[in-house]
Structure 1
Amino acid sequence: MKILFISSGFLGVYPYLEESIIKAFQSLNHSILTIPPTYSDVSINKVKDFQPDVALSFVGYKTDERLLDSLKEKGIALCVWLTEDPYYIDRSVLLLDKYHYVFTIDKGAYEYYKNSNTTNNLYYLPLGTDTSLYYPEDSDQHVLFDICLVGYPYPNRIDLIQQILKHTSFTVLLVGPNWQRYFPKKIDQLKILPHWLKPDMVRKIYSHSKIILNPHRPFHFPKNQNSLSVESKSINNRTFDIAACQGFQLVENKPDLRHQFDLSQEIVAYNNNEEFLHLLDQYIHDSDLRNRYSQNARNRVLKSHTFVHRVKYIIEQVTGTIS
């Protein structure tokens, strides 16, 4: 099948996600052409020469309507993968009627769309992971940090770190912009890398940490564009990346987590700060148990949660076949 992939137009992690998706399509022997989300004669001519069967717009917020109209005129099936739900759902809802097939990464957003009867071809599809980027490092590498957290300092994450610093002596590594704003003073047990890191560096950090924290972005964060107050019910793609690296993570419990992992032997979730501190103390001292969970989690990812699994699902829905 010929796939037209319309990139998001965003920087940071998005080009890596897009490259992983492209590789996944290619691994399944699909031909793929990538174009930017802007409308241009160059892109239209490329599409004309390529003659795709399906177009997949990633994120979709920057995709020019003129480009979509041109593709519709050619009879091409239009798909969008909404990766910012429900945090920017105010923007997502404006796109639903522009595509034949809508895929959203969040179960809460999916349920909202379903209840609104906005589209018939609507599917819940979380992002996956790329095991060529996220994999276990050499086992002889030593641990540098007890705990790490990679990501933006949302209020719930700041609170979690404050609890750790207040109640434990564990060493903590924070990675991402703006963390120094909330922890400006030097703290012996705390180290901050105040910038975004590429996947290969993130992989190394995961491999050098006993426990990786994964609290999720709050759906009611003031900078969100979620005036509908749609609750996020799904795990983020970092959950799959950490598991692919065979890292042990403490993840915030989300309604859909148990459908992606076995909570009794693949991943450990917490429901509040008190439970988090208890689990942190329990698992940080038990390397055998951490290794058992992390190995099981990686096996689950390899079986069910790579980008190859995701793009295969997209093709199955569009063609109505199961390969």
Structure 2
Amino acid sequence: MNVLYIRSGYKGIYTYFDRWIEEGFLQSSVRFFSVSDLQEDTISSIREFKPDISLMMAGDRIPSEWLQWLRTEQIPVYLWLTEDPFYFDVSAKIAPLADAVLTIEQNALDAYRQMGLQHVYYVPIPVNQRIFTKQAPDASLHTNLLLVGYPYPNRVELVKAAAKLPYTLRIIGKGWRRHLPKTIARQKNVLIMDEWIEPEHAALYYNSADVVLNPHRSYRFALNQNGRGIQNISLNTRSFDIAACQTFQLTDLSPAPPFSSFVSYSGLADFADKIHFYMTNPTERERIAALNYQETVPAYTYDQLPAVLTAIRSDTFS
């Protein structure tokens, strides 16, 4: 099978996704060719490559030019909607143009089927197990609690609650100082890194924390484009990264199968209770982290992506 991959064009973590996808295909027998811009020399190279399918990630904007050209060339389009359900309004506009829809949100599957789409599949963004892997903790990076990510309102509220607990807390991500009260930001047990960190560094911090806090973005966040109000029930990409490091994580979702081992909290009081319990039970943390690992790796890695696409192609052409 020949796979044409159209790079997302997004910045930040997506530049890593693009690279990791290519690395995953290099480990397989599937032929792979990646492009960015639709230019004359690109078109010539694509035609020479003779792709069986094209794969592209799409989030909050519509790749109209590419979709139109691929249709004209009669190259099957596999659209990987990697911001579902938060930009489902955008996804719903482009999904009918695809031959197969891959979504990271299990709850979006029914919504696509209600639109009359037959070939829809749950495909979470995989984990790079070469970067996110169990490592010896770095004592200089150790904290009891760790949260990495953007300061969405629900995360801010969680940090306010976590800061009151008798544990050290590290927060990493752009914008946190603007969103936290100065009284919390100045607490001795609260460490703030107001910056985006590369995946390699994130892995070091995950391995050096006792508990990683993983509250998900809310489907009701004001800046979403999710008019149908589709609630997210699927684990985010960070869940897989943390699990691959075999570090215990506490999340706000009760994830859908097959991820039954992940521990979730319901409300801030339950969050505090669970933090106290797991901070005093390291053996239980290790046991659950090992189960998290078994449920995510190796089934959801970039090395497995070629086989996933091959199976989807067999299904769409059956």
TM-score, normalised with respect to structure 2: 0.92
How many Å apart are 1:247 and its aligned residue? Answer: 1.0
Letter in 2 for 1:297: N
Q: 1:175 aligns with which of 169, 172, 175?
A: 172
Q: Is 1:134 aligned to residue 167 of structure 2?
A: no
Counterpart position of 1:88: 87
Q: Distance in 2 between matches of 1:8 and 1:180?
A: 30
Counterpart position of 2:19: 19
More moved, 209-218 vs 179-188: 179-188
Q: Is 1:297 aligned to residue 297 of structure 2?
A: no
Q: Is 1:153 aligned to residue 151 of structure 2?
A: yes
Q: Which runs of 5+ in 1 are unaligned?
A: none
How many Å apart are 1:261 and its aligned residue? Answer: 2.1
Q: Distance in 1 between matches of 2:139 and 2:287?
A: 18
Q: Distance in 1 between matches of 2:105 and 2:138?
A: 37
Counterpart position of 1:35: 35
Letter in 2 for 1:125: V
Q: Which runs of 5+ in 2 are unaligned?
A: none
More moved, 63-72 vs 12-21: 63-72
Q: Distance in 1 between matches of 2:40 and 2:60?
A: 21
Q: Distance in 1 between matches of 2:49 and 2:134?
A: 38
Letter in 1 for 2:312: Q
The SS at the match of 1:95 is: helix
How many Å apart are 1:64 and its aligned residue? Answer: 4.1
Q: Is 1:71 aligned to residue 92 of structure 2?
A: no
- Determine if contact 1:248/1:290 at 8 Å carries over to the other structure: yes
How many Å apart are 1:154 and its aligned residue? Answer: 1.0
How many Å apart are 1:132 and its aligned residue? Answer: 1.0
Letter in 1 for 2:311: E
More moved, 39-48 vs 199-208: 39-48
Letter in 2 for 1:13: I
How many Å apart are 1:61 and its aligned residue? Answer: 5.4
Listed as ranges, the matches of 1:1-323 within 5 Å are 1-36=1-36, 38-59=37-58, 64-117=63-116, 119-138=117-136, 144-166=142-164, 168-183=165-180, 184-185=182-183, 186-254=186-254, 257-263=255-261, 267-320=262-315
Letter in 1 for 2:107: G
Q: Distance in 2 between matches of 1:140 and 1:96?
A: 44
The SS at the match of 1:217 is: coil
- Determine if contact 1:5/1:32 at 8 Å carries over to the other structure: yes
Q: Distance in 2 between matches of 1:9 and 1:161?
A: 32
The SS at the match of 2:93 is: coil
How many Å apart are 1:137 and its aligned residue? Answer: 1.2
Letter in 1 for 2:25: F
How many Å apart are 1:125 and its aligned residue? Answer: 1.5
More moved, 240-249 vs 288-297: 288-297
Q: Distance in 2 between matches of 1:223 and 1:212?
A: 26
Q: How many residues in Structure 1 have an aligned counterpart in Structure 2?
A: 313
TM-score, normalised with respect to structure 1: 0.91
- Determine if contact 2:173/2:194 at 8 Å carries over to the other structure: yes
The SS at the match of 1:146 is: strand
How many Å apart are 1:143 and its aligned residue? Answer: 6.4
- Determine if contact 1:4/1:34 at 8 Å carries over to the other structure: yes
Letter in 2 for 1:7: R
List structure 1 runs of 4+ shifted beyond 6 angstroms: none
